[in-house]
A and B are shown apart, each in its own frame.
Chain A
Amino acid sequence: DAGVIQSPRHEVTEMGQEVTLRCKPISGHNSLFWYRQTMMRGLELLIYFNNNVPIDDSGMPEDRFSAKMPNASFSTLKIQPSEPRDSAVYFCASSADRGPADTQYFGPGTRLTVL
Chain B
Amino acid sequence: GEDVEQSLFLSVREGDSSVINCTYTDSSSTYLYWYKQEPGAGLQLLTYIFSNMDMKQDQRLTVLLNKKDKHLSLRIADTQTGDSAIYFCAESPYSGSARQLTFGSGTQLTVLP
Interface residues of B in 56-113 (CB under 8 A from A): 88, 90, 92, 97-101, 103, 105-106
Give complex CA distance A56, B97 in Å: 12
Contact B99 A102 (CB under 8 A): yes
Complex contacts, B106 vs chain A, CB 8 Å: 42-43
Please tell me which one of the listed residues A50, A56, A103 contacts residue B101 in the complex, with CB atoms under 8 A apart. Answer: A103
Complex contacts, A93 vs chain B, CB 8 Å: 42-43
A106-B99 CB under 8 A given contacts A42-B105, A43-B88, A100-B50 = no
* Cβ distance B111 to chain A, nearest Cβ, rounded Å: 21
A108-B41 CB under 8 A given contacts A31-B98, A48-B98, A50-B97 = yes
Complex contacts, A100 vs chain B, CB 8 Å: 30-31, 48, 50
Contact B42 A106 (CB under 8 A): yes
Give complex CA distance A97, B97 in Å: 7
Contact B45 A48 (CB under 8 A): no
Total B residues in contact with A, Cβ cutoff 8 Å: 23
Give complex CA distance A22, B44 in Å: 20
Contact A97 B99 (CB under 8 A): yes
* Cβ distance A37 to chain B, nearest Cβ, rounded Å: 9
Give complex CA distance A93, B70 in Å: 26
- B24 contacts chain A at the CB level, 8 A cutoff: no
* Cβ distance A44 to chain B, nearest Cβ, rounded Å: 9
A106-B48 CB under 8 A given contacts A42-B103, A43-B88, A43-B103 = no
Q: Can you add 11 more A-B contacts, CB < 8 Å, to A97-B98, A106-B42, A109-B42?
A: A43-B43, A43-B106, A93-B42, A95-B99, A97-B99, A100-B31, A100-B48, A104-B45, A104-B101, A105-B45, A108-B41
Residues of B with Cβ closer than 8 Å to A? 30-31, 33, 35, 40-45, 48, 50, 88, 90, 92, 97-101, 103, 105-106
